[in-house]
Amino acid sequence: MKLNKEKFLKTEFGSELHTTIRALDFYLCEKRKLSINEENKVLDNDIRVLFAEWRIYQLALKQFYCIGYHFSRTDSYYGICTDDGDWLFKEERYYGR
Contact 47, 31 (CB under 8 A): yes
pLDDT digits (tens, 9 = 90+) for 54-89: 999 999 999 999 999 999 999 999 999 999 999 999
- On whether the pTM is more than 0.85, the answer is yes
pLDDT at 5: 96
pLDDT at 38: 60
User: Which spans in the chain are helix H?
Assistant: 5-10, 12-33, 38-65
Mean pLDDT of the chain: 92
pLDDT digits (tens, 9 = 90+) for 4-50: 999 999 999 999 999 999 999 999 998 888 766 666 788 899 999 99
Residue 60 C-alpha from the chain's centroid: 14
Contact 80, 87 (CB under 8 A): yes
